[in-house]
Structure 1
Amino acid sequence: MEGRDIVQGRLRIAASSYLNSAPLIWSFRRGSLRERVRLWTDAAPARCAEMLARGDVEVALVPVIEYLRISDTRLIPGVCVGAQERVRSVVIATRGMALDEVHTVALDRSSRTSAALVQIIFREFIGREPRFVPAAPDIEGMLCEHDAALLIGDPAMSFERRGRRVYDLAAVWRERTGLGFVFAMWMTRYGTSVRGQDFVLARDEGLAHLDEIIAEYLPRLSLPEDELREYLLQNISFALDERMRAGLELFFHLAYKHGLAPIKRPLLFNED
């Protein structure tokens, strides 16, 4: 695939429309970079990975587990969707039971990194192997047939919690490892010319327009404005610092150890 620079051509980009990706794509939708790209935002994270793998787009905001599954990918440095402590939008809900009592887990089909993380948590940290079943992200249907359910993104923030025990996966990871967790990153295929600094600038521009982003998502999520602001400013980490990078490397190691990734790879960035 012939590479194109974001300044010289309209780079094709895919990202989900979840709230946690909104600050990263605001600049491409409405801000200073909107004339430089063609942006698709109607795809779930797993779908974004498929678009990148097929070459439908040059850059996608992709579940990080796909770095180990899609050949010739490079990470765009500096920017991520992750959490230092508690994420709120990636959770396991159970029918009131503890995780070590769970026998079956419904996994949100739109998830890939989080589905791998759930399996690592059970195998590596809890020491048991429940049955994992892909399912549509419908909490009622999931818990009707299974002991626990994985939900990600906006649905994970707004479901009814009464009578259920809810585990924040970033908090579980932090408790066990002391590290942050990276759920998604911008990725591109090797040989595509992309200026990583533009994605850093896009993130910063998006974070400077949180009022507009929150106003857009308020009717979608039916959550208080202060909760959405706290989520974007305190729960989600949009920068790949050293602790987040260490968490990413450990996750990749454990994913390979438990057969959830076909290969081991060092972190290769688009600037390398």
Structure 2
Amino acid sequence: MSLVIGEISYTNILPIFYYVNREELIQRGCSFVPKVPSELNRAMKAGTVDIGGISSFAYAENKDDYKLLPNLSVSSPKSVGSIFLFSKVPIHKLDNKVVALTSSSATSVNLLKIILGSFLELNVDYVTMDPDYNKMIQQHDACLLIGDDAIRTCWAQKEDIYRYDLGKLWNDQTGYPMTYAVVAARSESLLKNERLVSDLYEQMVKSKGRSKRDHYKGMITSIQRQLGGSATFWHHYFAGLNHDLSARHIEGLLRYYDYAYNMGLIDSPVNNLSLWQGATDWKSV
């Protein structure tokens, strides 16, 4: 048995993975592959990654081939704190302007298109670039950054740039939480490795619960060594995130898919989510 596990290389998904027993899982044939969301999306579609965190948007594009692991996601009830539009002008003045999109994202890129095109009814042109804030903002009117790239940019941001949190903009318009990433598995991988996936799933849910019970303390210390930032900043950041996939999350995600389909961002409607039925119920852990 072997299982290739894709791990989004941003801090926002870390609570799901932090306390997973990697050594044990590696001995059992697992391997962990850290990549930004757009790279994991492509690897899952190609079959080189079996299971892991992917963009919610990528699930919609491949819904017939994937199953979602219940009760796991990267979401925010309101502000997300790491997905930002940086703009030289107020957001409502971006009509007929050019916005640079990070090449690292799928969900957030299309969420921005929904916000600007559907919510604000603006006509905006887009270009996709590597996530380099200085180049993006110098060459264009606004730019979208996600994850740790967005966090580091906020720390160094100049005062004359407007900043908009996409989680807040989504919630202000819809009242729903926004789910940026889900934990998905290729259907054939589940058939071949159901016991191993079940054990991995148990560890992920336990890791999520332990991280929250510990108030993310050990995890934050590790993050500070790698990225810097104060403990206060990181505690506030994780307090604004959520890693569940409740009925309310699913309602919000289906609303997002409705907007995406109506704007022609996905080819077919998504009316429900296909959840893996082999999962043991670890909600109370």
Per the normalisation by structure 1, the TM-score is 0.89
Equivalent residues in 2 for 1:14-163, closer than 5 Å? 14-28=6-20, 35-36=27-28, 37-41=30-34, 43-70=35-62, 71-95=64-88, 97-102=89-94, 103-159=97-153, 160-161=156-157, 162-163=159-160
- Report the Cα offset of residue 174 of structure 1: 0.4
Moved over 6 A (4+): none
Q: Is the 8 A contact 2:67 2:186 kept in 1?
A: yes
Any conservation in 2 of the 1:25–1:206 contact (CA below 8 Å)? no
For residues 207 and 90 of structure 2, the distance between their equivalents in structure 1, rounded to whole angstroms, comes to 41
Which has the higher mean CA deviation after the structures are superposed, 153-162 or 249-258?
153-162
1:173 matches 2:170 = yes
Count how many residue pairs are aligned between Structure 1 and Structure 2.
261
Cα deviation, residue 27, structure 1: 2.7
Which of 135-144 and 220-229 deviates more? 220-229
- The alpha-carbon deviation at position 33 of structure 1 amounts to 5.4
Structure 2 counterpart of 1:68, one-letter code: A
1:18 aligned partner, one-letter code? Y
Partner in structure 1 of residue 282 of structure 2: none
5+ residue gaps, structure 2, are 279-285
SS class of match (1:79): strand
Deviation at 1:11, TM superposition (A): 2.6
| Richer in helix (by share) | 2
* Per-residue deviation, 1:69: 1.3
Q: Structure 1 residues 137 and 29, CA, compared in 2 at 3 Å: closer, same or farther? A: farther
Please list, as runs of the form range in 1=range in 2, the aligned pairs for 1:185-204 lying within 5 A after superposition: 185-191=182-188, 192=190, 193=194, 194-195=197-198, 196-204=201-209
Does the 8 A contact of 1:114 with 1:152 survive in 2? Answer: yes
Structure 1 Cα separation of the partners of residues 46 and 17 of structure 2: 21
Residue aligned with 2:5, SS: strand
Q: Tell me, which stretches of 5 or more residues in structure 1 are unaligned?
A: 1-8
Matched residue, 1:248: 253
User: What secondary structure sits across from 1:81 in the alignment?
Assistant: strand
Equivalent residues of 2:261, 2:267 under 8 A apart: yes
Which whole-Å CA distance do the structure 2 matches of 1:29 and 1:108 have between them?
32
1:14–1:57 Cα contact (<8 Å) kept:
yes
> Which moved further from structure 2: 186-195 or 161-170?
186-195
Q: Tell me the TM-score normalized by structure 2.
A: 0.86
